[in-house]
């Protein structure tokens, strides 16, 4: 590899959906700088002009995979550019690259985004300096189980290519040469007499609340994760209905929520997604502020330092004239104090501020490769929160600048919308499973957003505003003339409730195509979600009725000795499914991201093969063609 006369920088491009890929990219950048690399730039893919890629000489891509093999939002424009047919096989001649992917082998399309990118970059003429690395959430050490050895190999490879320009491996792993450096952010403290200051008690209506949410989150690192809540205008919701759908076992709590839009001009379609910013426990916020010796009533502005400003501003268009916001308000709206587990880098930075020697040694061990597995057990497996970690190391007192950078950002939660705007003007409905689990050490954990929503009383909490954003989902609304096969076990039925509500309204204007709907749950008595709704539309000329060419099929997996799932019900009516598919029907699949999508897809392949007389290989290819043609849509969640 010859860098003579070329740009000497090392470029790290990441595409992150939840922040893991950004964290890895930051680590790559830190290690490269520690190794003496003269120029390192770490950028989100949507902050980089893809047409400039041939000018680079060494690019490291860090890419997560979301959903069923989908690209993160911040990668979509970049990827679309790379797929242009006019880019020849020599377009990236002279470019060297490496790819590290973050995924979960429990998904059918494991690390699909990274694999696609790696192949496409090679097709365009770039040269891989190392085999792609694939991080797996199922690994006993999480994605770092693959990342650590992959980075060692990468630095060794680059070091041998050109030690004058690229990182020196010996320096990267020399603990004696490690220094803390600076945080990415600058905190400015303001005089309390400023008229434009914002805090949670200062707004008089939802308009002020929306402004405050947008301001806080535009200053926060959350904006760097390409979470579009920091870009689009926030909409305020008020809860109208909180109804439990499931019965029996309190640990299996599924709720139906109805909200009204307080802001005007908000529109959505069936198949869209609602993001909600959850509220944090004020007791935890107060405990964090007290533990960190912070002044909750002081007013601050938060800005990235110059080195990081280009990437940051390109995504959120941050104004230099930021209104000061109360520190407690900023923490409440942007920093996940008592829900998300911190990253490994927090433990490394904490070690520099630990006054007790035994705490410093333990933190250094956790931050090392040797301590990786023990850290994973202590931190991620236990769902340890930032507040709990800080309380476990009482001698550590970190500056607020570092806390802003290292505390996990408070993220919005995405939910498939389960209502039609035609049926419920100015409203949006959700079907939400209230999440709870037990850690290996038998500690009970609860999902932040779902538990908060479940605890709201729409009659007593009328003045609680819920910050929300509407986004396009992966289930496009079918036109009335399109026959559809809907498969949605459990809360996967949510978007299909919206589809059926919409089709009912469309029936009033003219003829509509048939709908086959397959629903599944554990047992009829306790989890038959929206039972009356489905049955009412499956009778008397309803959109799911046989008279309309449709059908409603439900599988109760635990009501008999042999488990019965949606795929078994599909096999029972395989002829009807094939008949609709032959007439151009679209398939929509929603629900759990684990085994279900693969099992249902396999069943569809069997039905196509049996009914058409084709081989399984041909049936599989035919189904993939339907997916590429926009007639097979999947939306899943973990």
pLDDT tens per residue across span 145-204: 899 999 999 998 888 776 555 666 666 666 666 678 788 899 999 876 555 566 666 666
Do the annotations mark residue 599 as ligand-binding? yes
Give the model's pLDDT for residue 314. 38
Question: Is 384 annotated as contributing to ligand binding?
Answer: no
Average pLDDT, the chain: 88
- 447 known member of a binding site: yes
Q: What string of H, E and C letters represents the secondary structure of 451-487?
A: HHHHCCCCCCCCCCCEEEEEECCCCCCCCCCCCEEEE
Question: Would the annotation count 188 as a binding residue?
Answer: no
Task: Give dist(CA 52, CA 62) in Å, integer.
Answer: 18
The H or E element spanning position 114 is helix 112-123
Question: Binding site annotation covers 415?
Answer: yes
Query: Does residue 374 have a known ligand-binding role?
Result: no
Contact 382, 439 (CB under 8 A): yes
Tens-digit pLDDT profile for residues 506-550: 999 999 999 999 999 999 999 999 999 999 999 988 999 999 999
- Do 302 and 187 meet the contact criterion of CB atoms below 8 Å apart? yes
Q: Any known ligand binding at 567?
A: yes
16 is in an annotated binding site: yes
Ligand-binding annotation for 51, yes or no, is: no
DSSP state of 277: -
pLDDT tens profile 368-420: 889 988 999 999 889 999 999 999 999 999 999 999 999 999 999 999 999 99
Beta sheet of 427-434, edge-to-edge order:
413-416, 273-276, 466-471, 235-244, 253-261, 427-434
CB of 389 closer than 8 Å to CB of 250 = no
Residues 632 and 630: their CA atoms lie apart, in Å, by 6
Q: Which residues pair with 427 in a beta bridge?
A: 260
445 and 438 Cβ atoms separated by less than 8 Å: yes
Distance CA 322, CA 307 (A): 19
566 is in an annotated binding site: yes
Alpha-carbon distance of 26 to 38, in angstroms, equals 16
Is 517 within any annotated ligand binding site?
no
Q: Say whether 86 counts as a known binding-site residue.
A: no
| Ligand-binding site membership of 416 (annotated) | yes
Residue closest to 150 by CA, chosen among 94, 101, 95: 101
Those residues with Cβ within 8 angstroms of residue 372's Cβ, 6 or more apart along the chain or in another chain: 141, 144, 145, 148, 344
pLDDT of 419-476, one tens digit each? 999 999 999 999 999 999 888 888 899 999 999 999 999 998 777 889 999 988 889 9
Say whether 549 counts as a known binding-site residue: no
Which of 233-242, 260-269, 417-426: highest mean pLDDT?
417-426
Q: Determine the 3-state secondary structure of 326 from DSSP.
A: strand
pLDDT (mean) for 350-357: 96
- Residue 551: the pLDDT is 96
Residue 19 is assigned to a ligand binding site: yes
Determine if residue 67 is labeled as part of a ligand binding site.
Answer: yes
What angle, 0 to 180 degrees and rounded to 10, lies between the N-to-C axes of helices 616-628 and 596-612? 120
Is residue 605's pLDDT more than 60? yes
CB crowding 10-43: b at 16 or more within 10 Å, else e: bbbbbbbbbbbbbbbbbbbbbbbbbbbbeebbbb
42-84 confidence digits (pLDDT tens): 999 999 999 999 999 999 999 998 877 788 889 999 999 999 9
In sequence order, what are the residues at sequence separation of 6 or more whose Cβ sits closer than 8 angstroms to the Cβ of residue 31? 151, 155, 167, 172
Q: Confirm whether residue 450 is marked as ligand binding.
A: yes
On whether 343 is known to bind a ligand per the annotation, the reply is no
65 in a labelled binding site: yes
Map out the domains of the chain with their CATH numbers: 10-177 (3.40.50.360), 344-406 (1.20.990.10), 484-637 (3.40.50.80)
Does the annotation place 509 within a ligand binding site? no
Is there a binding annotation on residue 17?
yes
In this prediction, residues 22-28 reach a mean pLDDT of 91
333 annotated ligand binder? no
491 annotated as ligand-binding: yes
Lowest mean pLDDT among 54-63, 171-180, 243-252, 597-606: 171-180
Q: Please tell me the predicted confidence (pLDDT) of residue 319.
A: 44
């Amino acid at each position: 590899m010859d860098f003579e006369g070329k740009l000497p920088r090392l470029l790290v491009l990441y595409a992150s959906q939840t922040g893991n890929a950004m964290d890895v990219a930051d680590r790559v950048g830190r290690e490269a700088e520690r190794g003496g690399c003269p120029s390192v730039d770490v950028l989100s893919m949507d902050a980089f002009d893809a047409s400039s890629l041939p000018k680079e000489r060494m690019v490291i891509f860090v890419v997560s995979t979301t959903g069923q093999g989908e690209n993160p939002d911040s990668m979509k424009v970049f990827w679309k550019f790379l797929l242009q047919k006019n880019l020849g096989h020599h377009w990236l001649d002279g470019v060297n690259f490496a790819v590290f992917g973050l995924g979960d082998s429990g998904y059918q399309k494991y690390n699909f985004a990274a694999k696609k990118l790696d192949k496409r970059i090679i097709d365009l003429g770039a040269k891989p300096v190392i085999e792609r690395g694939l991080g797996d959430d199922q690994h006993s050490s999480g994605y770092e189980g693959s990342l650590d050895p992959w980075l060692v190999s990468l630095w060794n490879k680059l070091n041998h290519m050109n030690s004058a320009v690229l990182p020196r491996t010996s320096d990267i792993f020399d603990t004696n040469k490690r220094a803390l450096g600076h945080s990415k952010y600058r905190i400015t403290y303001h005089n309390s007499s400023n008229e434009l200051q914002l805090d949670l008690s200062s707004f008089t209506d939802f308009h002020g609340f929306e402004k405050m949410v947008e301001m806080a989150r535009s200053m926060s690192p959350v904006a760097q994760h390409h979470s579009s809540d920091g870009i689009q205008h926030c909409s305020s919701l008020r809860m109208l209905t909180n109804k439990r759908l499931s019965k029996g076992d309190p640990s299996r709590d599924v709720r139906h929520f109805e909200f009204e839009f307080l802001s005007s001009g908000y529109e959505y379609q069936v198949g869209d997604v609602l993001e909600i910013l959850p509220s944090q426990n004020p007791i935890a916020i107060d405990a964090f502020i007290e533990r960190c010796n912070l002044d909750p009533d002081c007013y601050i502005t938060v800005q990235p330092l110059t080195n990081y400003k280009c990437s940051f501003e390109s995504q959120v268009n941050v104004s230099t004239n930021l209104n000061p916001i109360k520190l407690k308000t900023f923490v409440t709206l942007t920093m996940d104090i008592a829900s998300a587990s911190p990253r490994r880098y927090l433990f490394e930075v904490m070690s520099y501020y630990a006054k007790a020697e035994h705490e410093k040694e333990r933190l250094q061990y956790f931050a090392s490769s040797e301590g990786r597995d023990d850290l994973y057990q202590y931190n991620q497996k236990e769902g340890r929160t930032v507040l709990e970690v800080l309380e476990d190391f009482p001698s550590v007192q970190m500056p607020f600048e570092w806390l802003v950078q290292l505390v996990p950002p408070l993220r919005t939660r995405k939910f498939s919308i389960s209502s039609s705007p035609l049926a419920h003007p100015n409203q949006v409905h959700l079907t939400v499973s209230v999440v709870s689990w037990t850690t290996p050490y038998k500690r009970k954990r609860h999902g932040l957003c779902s538990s908060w929503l479940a605890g709201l009383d729409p009659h007593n909490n009328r003045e609680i505003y819920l910050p929300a954003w509407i986004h396009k989902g992966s289930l496009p609304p079918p036109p009335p003339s399109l026959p559809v096969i809907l498969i949605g076990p459990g809360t996967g039925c949510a978007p299909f409730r919206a589809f059926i509500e919409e089709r009912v309204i469309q029936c009033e204007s003219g003829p509509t195509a048939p709908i086959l709907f397959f629903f599944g749950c554990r047992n009829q008595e306790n989890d038959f979600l929206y039972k009356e709704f489905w049955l009412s539309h499956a009778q008397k000329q309803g959109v799911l009725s046989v008279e309309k060419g449709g059908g409603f099929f439900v599988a109760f997996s635990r009501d008999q000795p042999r488990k019965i799932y949606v795929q078994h019900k599909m096999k029972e009516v395989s002829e009807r499914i094939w008949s609709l598919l032959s007439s151009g029907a679209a398939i929509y699949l929603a629900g759990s991201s684990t085994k279900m999508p693969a099992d249902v897809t396999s069943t569809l392949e069997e039905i196509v093969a049996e009914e058409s007389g084709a081989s399984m290989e041909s049936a599989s290819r035919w189904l993939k063609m339907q997916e590429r043609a926009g007639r097979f849509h999947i939306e899943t969640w973990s």
